[in-house]
Structure 1
Amino acid sequence: MRVALAIGDFSPQKGGAERSVAEIAEDFLHSGHEVHVFAYRFGDSVEGRLQRHKVPVIPFPKSLRLLSFALMASRAMRRGGFDLTISVGETWGADVLQSRGGVHWSWFWKSLRAYRNPLLRGVKLLGRLLSPKQWAQGLIETIAYKKAKRIIAISEMVKEDIVRYYKIPPDRIEVSYTKVDIERFHPRNRRWRADIRARYGIPQDAFLILFSSHNFRMKGLRYLIEALSILKDSGKYYYLLVLGRDDPGPYLRLAKKLGCEERIRFAGEVRDPERYYGAADLLVHPTFYDACSRVVLEALSSGLPVITTRSNGAGWVLLNGEGGMLLEDPFDANNLSEKIRLFFDVKIQEETEATARSIILKIYKQL
């Protein structure tokens, strides 16, 4: 079978949608299919057997780059005579539409909450409303959903958003959670516990909380640090290890101001996150918006309990309370601190560890 996928920037090393598309392509390749990828940019770490098609675009401004790619890539796939065409929301008219970033307008509004200062939030909103790029993305997505033959949502939350914003009947939408490598992200990675902790000067008997993101503001690091400052006199010996390439400066200053800077380590971007899951006791991901956070799914697959928010599609797998807990409001540092405190209880810790991986195995078995 000849399969075509389209994504503007096909750079798997960036993670996110780019990485997901690469994994979809690899799955088809390993099944013996001929795979074509249409993009205006290709990264370095691209599967050699892929047939690459560079799509000509208007490079500037971003709005015209998005629109020209949507038009040209859609036309090229339509004329290619493929057996199956797949779009991730940047083109229209494909056989399958699976937007990896969720619904644009849901992100547009929910992510504004990451700016707590009303003035700053207002400025950010005004900037988005005046941005041709935002309207171009919205237009492309609107056309894509109207023309979609088959729609796949990457979480139940995204499915609800599609129904809400595009009035598509729920029975037309399938749910297929983002897949992670369950062999790579496995409880046996706890063998790296001593090595990782020693690398960052974290005692072996300390309770280690993990945070992983390349966008510290959007994923709520500030409020996690505030929550930990509340716990500094709890008598529990805890540490926070932060992964990601964002700027740690503002958060180190905040931690110093709150008197908990000695409990925090910044590791930067890492290439072996599975080892860090194995070293931790809890993942906290108080995000303001995630269509389906890969970090949360990787942690659960590793047997690591999770605290995240209802604005994270991946968090909806925790609705029955197994494998972790859901936070209603990312701003609520007091509530977050209480949820973290619960995991200081060895019994609760062991119970959630025991169910975390089974959640992932169950949802993947249903796919």
Structure 2
Amino acid sequence: MNITIVRRRCGYGMGGAESYCANVARGFKKRGYRVTVVADESSLEGIPFKRARVAGRGSVLKNLTFFMESQAVLKKLDSSLVYGLSRVRGADFLRISDPLHAAWLDLGYENSLFAAFRRHFSLRHSLLLWQERQAIRTCKYIVTNSRLVKDQLASYYRVKSEYVFTVYNGVDHERFRPLPEDARNQAKNALGMSPGETAILFAGSDFRRKGLFCLFNAISRMDREVVLLVAGGEATPEADALCRQLGISDSVKWLGYRLDMERLYQAADLFCLPTLYDPFANTVLEAMACGTP
């Protein structure tokens, strides 16, 4: 059986959905299936990779070109089953773990009139909604990782429940597990911190949706000194400007993309993800598995 997995990026250290792609590709291969990954970028060794090139620098062109290029690549493959982890037409199973864009437009903007304006007149949002509709309406079945998204599919796209399966995220307890206090102190020392310093960890690449700016404001109002560890991306001009405005620049450590997330959970005294909308954040499970409050 030839299983083709579609995701724009696949590999570890890129994000939760990208790590899931890597895990499921390896899992299928381990069970004896022939697996091919269709992506613009893949770091998996030993699994065939067919590139669907992403063009342009902005998100509009990147999303559109991957949507179109992945279709062209899929037509050339002899796939017994297509497992779509990105917006893709005609998947046998479409897994929706990223935010449902139609729902995010309503949830992410307080002013509903503003959301309606962006929905109808923003090129980026219009294209994402079109791709989302195409993916949902042309797939055979949908897999969600939360009941929230299953309910939203019914509300926004009238998808009948018998075509939707909810499979919750799992966590690797061999990798993400509690460690003794001395090992946690060593993890903190590796980040240039002393055991007595209080470390708060944030993990995520979509800073606005994941609530990083809300966390900045909260830290600026705290009456004790803490160090905020930010993993998942480099400082953006907007984030850097807000840190300076709030006077917390010296309290924030930007760690970028990391392959050793388990060490960060073990170094942190607290994990904080004040997300505005998240179907099912892998980071919460990972922090819990490491014993991080």
Please classify the TM superposition score into its range, dividing by the shorter chain length. 0.7 to 0.9
Structure 1: unaligned runs, 5 residues or longer: 306-367
Structure 1 SS opposite 2:130: helix
Q: CA deviation at 1:243?
A: 2.6
Q: CA deviation at 1:176?
A: 1.4
TM-fit CA distance, 1:66: 4.4
Alignment of 1:91-110 (within 5 A): 91-110=88-107
The root-mean-square deviation of aligned C-alpha atoms, in Å, is: 3.1
How far apart, CA to CA, are the structure 2 residues paired with 1:57 and 1:109?
Answer: 28
Q: Any stretches of 5+ residues in structure 2 without a counterpart?
A: none
Cα displacement string for residues 198-219 of structure 1 (whole angstroms, at most 9, x for unaligned residues): 3455442444322222333332
The percent of aligned pairs where both chains have the same amino acid is 28
- 2:264 is aligned, of 265, 276, 280, to 276
Q: What's the TM-score, normalizing by structure 1?
A: 0.67
Please list the CA deviations of residues 243-291 of structure 1 after superposition, one character each: whole Å capped at 9, or x if unmatched: 34231522431441xxx666x2314223312112112222111112223
Q: Are the counterparts in 2 of residues 3 and 36 from structure 1 also a CA contact under 8 Å?
A: yes
Q: Give the length in aligned residue pairs.
A: 285
Aligned twin of 1:246: 234
- Counterpart amino acid of residue 171 in structure 2: V
TM-score (norm: length of structure 2):
0.81
**Structure 1 residues 205 and 14, CA gap change in structure 2 (3 angstroms):** closer
Whole-Å separation in 1 of the counterparts to 2:22 and 2:145: 16
Larger radius of gyration: 1
The 1:13–1:226 alpha-carbon spacing in structure 2 relative to 1, beyond 3 Å, is closer
Query: 2:174 & 2:121 partners in 1: Cα distance?
Result: 45
Q: How far off is 1:146 after superposition?
A: 2.3
Contact kept in structure 1, 2:233 and 2:255, CA below 8 Å: yes
Greater per-residue helix proportion: 1
* Runs of 4+ in structure 1 over 6 Å off: 56-60
> Structure with the greater relative contact order (CA < 8 A, sep ≥ 6): 1 or 2?
2
Which residue identity lines up with residue 42 of structure 1 in the other structure?
A: E
For 1:51, the aligned partner's letter is: P
Partner of 1:46: 44
SS at match of 1:3: strand
Distance 1:32 1:189 in 2: 38
SS of structure 2 residue aligned to 1:217 = helix
Give the SS at the match of 2:259. coil
Contact 1:26 1:47 in 2 (8 A): no
Whether the 8 Å contact between 1:99 and 1:154 is mirrored in structure 2 is yes
Q: CA deviation at 1:86?
A: 0.8
Deviation, structure 1 residue 238: 4.5
Structure 1 residues 250, 31: closer, same or farther in 2, change over 3 A?
A: same
The counterpart of 2:151, out of the listed 144, 160, 175, is 160
| Residue pair 2:8, 2:86 contacting (<8 A) in 1 also | no
Q: Distance in 1 between matches of 2:280 and 2:178?
A: 21
